[in-house]
Chain A
Amino acid sequence: MDYLIQVIGSGIIQGLVYGLIAVSLVLIYKSSGVFNFAVGEFCTAGAVFFFILQSLGLPLWVVIPGFLLMAAVFGGLIEKLIIDRLIGRDPMAITLVTIGISSILVGLLLFFFGANPEIVELPLPDLTLEIGSALFISSQVWNGIIAALAMIALLLFYKFSTMGILMRATADSQVKSIVLGINARRILTITWGISAVVAALSGLAVANGSAVSYDMGIVGLAALPVVLLGGLESIPGAIIAGIIIGLVETTSNFYFGPWLGLTGFQAISPYILLLVVLLIRPEGLFGQELIERV
């Protein structure tokens, strides 16, 4: 029983982090139809910002808002300098540009941050959780809490704040929102900024208790099955799919893989699930079915 608790708990924590990365992708996709392949590098950049501020010896209450602000500016700048110039083009073309952005960011991170990993440790109270012989160490518990709080804050922001409502309106239809007097371009910049903040928090959760390095962006790949499973336009879908994928990974690693005698089964299990779901619901669990008039 303790073993099951450990597997499920670890899966949920891992899934919350995956879910948060996926939310960052969904935010941009919803607003512009662009799939941001640079999300992994956004995560890395966020963790690097945190490391830089922390290594300056600043207190945590300065470091946290500071690195989130840096991430927001970073995301906004990417949008203003690159994406904004491509507005009106096919979203697929802009999606391809994000692959280029990803490569450039890897190079810049390597150039400025260097090749060696650096330790990232959130100095927070010890929340180590012991249930029977199952144990969840403090940094993991905090990673789960950070991811969950960020998701709740984002959902509340989207639902109740004026800016959130404007963002939803723009996401529904850019043309209609412009007609209604909404500055859609500004909203898009803000969306990229918020997406970068969400990715930065994910990056912090990934690096916390371990290390950040310029090539950490590979973590973005973990969000691909999540976002496709949950549906590209659904924030709750991303969250739920994140948890599902986290659970599938841990259970297949510790139950199904050994039962089937397949080492490495964990790596492919999310894609098997994804394949099955997409055969039944091509738009994902919570995605919108696209009805086209002919």
Chain B
Amino acid sequence: MKKMVLVCSVFLLGLAVVFQSSPTVAEEKKPVKFLLTAPLSGILGSVPDIGYGLMDAAQYINDTGGIGGRKLEAIVEDGRYDVPTIVGLFNKYAADEPKDEFLFFCPFAGPALKALREKANQEEKIPVLGASMTNQIFNDRVSKDTPYYFTTGPGYNEQWAMVLKYIKKNHKKSTPPRVALHYYDNSTGREIHQSLRDYAKKYGIDLVMMEPFSPKAQTFAPGFLKFRQKKVEYILFWNWSFKVGARYFKEVKKYLPNVPTYGVHWTAANLFFHLAGDSYDGHYVVSGYPLETELDNTFIKNVTDMAKKKKRSIKTWGFYLQSWVMGQLAGEASRQVLREGKPLTRANIRDALENIDTTLTGMFGGNKLDYTTHKFSQARMLRADKGKKSLVPVTDWVDIYEYIK
């Protein structure tokens, strides 16, 4: 009996030693860390929905099997939309966390994306899923210059090109459409000027003027008067502040009631019906995201079910969906690496992202995401409908690169 106990004890001890020293089992317990420096305070205000989106996506990934036994861990810090703060946080995590655990990062601020260009792509070589779709990074050279940077939407240039093409396609008059850009006056507001000129020329559109507005402006009226004088038929409204947008939609309807406005990602939000009322009606936008009201979309069903389960009170759905997508992309790219039988390293994840094979649970109406450009390939045109108090699709999901050819 004593011998039996001794044998069993030695066997169990041996087993414990073997398992403890086994890299596979130890590795399985390590979390996959995703650092998100969300604007929870600071100049852009507080948008907690951004943090909730990533946290809930991580839970969704973990509830559906995790990443080969490892959990996706969302680390949400307050980046304050401030470059030094974000860079400081990134450096801290880069120094403290092991490279095989700290595998994803999102600064959620275009300027920080620019500031960390070298550190993230050449030194750390960490996959970065950005929120900004700036053409200063996400252009034809992205794969070569910043191979670890990916964005979570179509590029701004492509979105505006899609707007122009849509205007041209639906323009009823024989004369070229007279279009004006009204833009938030900062570097991002100015970055699209050249490509707008190029696309306008390509499509036969008369780009009448490009007029800046100050974010502090109490009125946009002088700009609207210029548009009246120049007989502008369509306004491209380039803005990413809810407060500015609310005032803008109200004013433009008074000054230029028959001139439709067009926007991209940042003005695609049903929240504008709450802030600007019926003035938001008739605004056209390009969006790479489905709407929170489209419950027949399986991606939206998953997202809204989780939000309900977590008792979230989401107001800025666009932000919530965007950071959810980041979490889901992180989970799916990591799983793809493991499916291919490779170790989960930053470089392998980058390659998996570039060649990802996913529909993101049916996000684009079942179409696959082509991420070879590091940008979303799918987009739709939506129109604000006051009857439904929601944006409604006016085109199907299309390959944006095909559309703007």
Contact = CB atoms under 8 A, between A and B. Distances in A.
A140 B45 contact: no
Nearest to A115: B46
Contacts of A134: 221, 225
A17 interface: yes
B255 A214 contact: no
A213 B218 contact: no
B231 interface: no
A10 B218 contact: yes
B219 A10 contact: yes
B218 A13 contact: yes
Given A14-B219, A128-B254, A253-B214, A213 B243 contact: yes
Interface in B204-241: 212, 214, 216-219, 221-226, 228-229
A246 to B, nearest CB: 9
A14 B218 contact: yes
A257 B214 CA distance: 12
Interface string A248-276: 01100110010000011011000000000
Nearest to A222: B216
A117 B243 contact: yes
Given A10-B219, A253-B222, A263 B190 contact: yes
**Interface range on chain A (Cβ under 8 Å from partner):** 35 or more
Interface in B174-214: 185-186, 190, 212, 214
A156 interface: no
Interface stretch (A26-34, A68-76, A163-171, A204-212): A204-212
Given A210-B246, A267-B214, A136 B221 contact: yes
A209 B242 CA distance: 13
B315 interface: yes
A210 B246 CA distance: 6
Contact of B47 (A10, A115, A267): A115
B316 A116 contact: yes
B251 interface: yes
Given A116-B316, A135-B254, A135-B255, A6 B225 contact: yes
Contacts of B271: 116
B48 interface: yes
Nearest to A116: B315
Interface in A209-235: 209-211, 213-216, 218-219, 222
A3 B229 contact: yes
A3 B225 contact: yes
Contacts of B219: 10, 13-14, 137, 140
A250 B250 contact: no
B247 interface: yes
Nearest to B183: A263
A86 interface: no
B75 interface: no
B55 to A, nearest CB: 16
Interface in B29-71: 41, 43, 45-48
B259 interface: no
Interface of B is mostly: helix
A7 B239 CA distance: 22
B222 A210 contact: no
B312 interface: no
B114 interface: no
Contacts of B342: none
A114 to B, nearest CB: 8
A115 B48 CA distance: 7
A96 interface: no
Contacts of B229: 3, 133
Contact of A117 (B41, B190, B217, B275): B275
Given A209-B250, A222-B216, A214 B45 contact: yes
B274 interface: yes
Nearest to B226: A3
A34 B251 CA distance: 38
Contacts of A128: 254
Contacts of B250: 137, 139, 209-210
Nearest to B46: A115
B280 to A, nearest CB: 12
A264 B275 contact: no
Contact of A211 (B43, B224, B228, B246): B246
30 contacts: A7-B222, A10-B219, A13-B218, A13-B219, A14-B217, A106-B41, A110-B46, A115-B46, A116-B316, A119-B246, A119-B274, A135-B225, A135-B255, A137-B255, A143-B218, A206-B218, A210-B243, A210-B244, A210-B275, A211-B246, A211-B275, A213-B45, A214-B45, A216-B243, A250-B222, A253-B212, A253-B214, A254-B223, A263-B185, A263-B212
Interface of B: 41, 43, 45-48, 185-186, 190, 212, 214, 216-219, 221-226, 228-229, 242-244, 246-247, 250-251, 254-255, 271, 274-277, 315-316
Given A106-B41, A264-B212, 19 more contacts: A3-B222, A6-B222, A115-B46, A117-B275, A134-B225, A137-B250, A137-B255, A139-B250, A209-B250, A210-B250, A210-B275, A211-B243, A213-B45, A213-B242, A215-B43, A249-B216, A264-B185, A264-B186, A266-B185
